[in-house]
Amino acid sequence: MKHVKTQSGLTGWRGRLQDNYVHLAEFKSYSELYDLHHRLGFRTAKAAWESNPVVEGSVNPTDFRKVSR
């Protein structure tokens, strides 16, 4: 994980989606709870998982987003 300054100004992390979750089932669980796949621009959690975009986030939930490298 790379450390970055996020949109909220907090120090956060950046890396591939699949590096942040153990498996698709775990990501789907969080995605259903926090609507993560929609935040990343995908219709389903599975589509986001398969795409494996670069994401960043912090302790502030609003910082979770898809980024270009």
- How many residues would you count in the chain? 69
Task: Look at residues 38, 35, 68 and name the one whose alpha carbon lies nearest to residue 54.
Answer: 68
Dist CA 31 CA 45 (whole Å): 6
Distances (CA, A) of 59 to 13, 38, 43, 51, 56: 10, 19, 24, 24, 11
Q: Are 45 and 28 in contact (CB under 8 A)?
A: yes
Which pLDDT score is estimated for 12?
97
Residue 68: what pLDDT? 85
| pLDDT value, residue 44 | 97
Q: State the amino acid at position 69 in one-letter form.
A: R
pLDDT by 10s per residue, the chain, length 69: 799 999 999 999 999 999 999 999 999 999 999 999 999 999 999 999 999 999 999 999 899 999 986
pLDDT score at 1: 78
